[in-house]
Amino acid sequence: MEYRVPYADTDQMGVVYYGTYLTIFERARNELMRASGYTYKRCEAEGWMLPVVHAEVDYRRPAKYDDLLEVTAWVRAMRGVRIEIACEVRRKGESELLVSGFTRHCFVSSKDFRPIPPPEGFCSL
């Protein structure tokens, strides 16, 4: 996924806020799910959710206002009712890693909020 950094995502010096990367991770996860056919509308219709239960961000170099970022997301691990989705962020066309990290999620029933097994076929992400 590509993401152009808007001014609203930066501090007064034009550097991207640390917490903004979690939002970028969320967008990358949405695009990963969408590409595999699992939109959040589909998840809702099937009666399950995928809330974040843990997040880690390794901030290495700053991105700045108007940078065009390349964000790569992939399933790092799936165990039981949990899934980890990793992300890496670089400026488009550059190899230097700006940020890496992951979010851990739990498959949860939208009816009673209890953990449930992943939907059949979800492993293909």
pTM for this prediction: 0.87
Residue 109, pLDDT score: 96
Mean pLDDT (the chain, rounded):
92
Confidence category of residue 59, pLDDT binned at 50, 70, 90: very high
pLDDT tens-digit map of 72-101? 999 999 999 999 999 999 999 999 999 999
- Counting Cβ atoms within 10 Å, is residue 65 exposed (0-12), middle (13-18) or buried (19+)? middle
- Which positions are catalytic? 11
Instruction: Tell me the domains of the chain and their CATH numbers.
Output: 2-124 (3.10.129.10)
Per-residue pLDDT at 115 exceeds 60: yes
How far, in Å, CA of 78 to CA of 93, rounded? 30
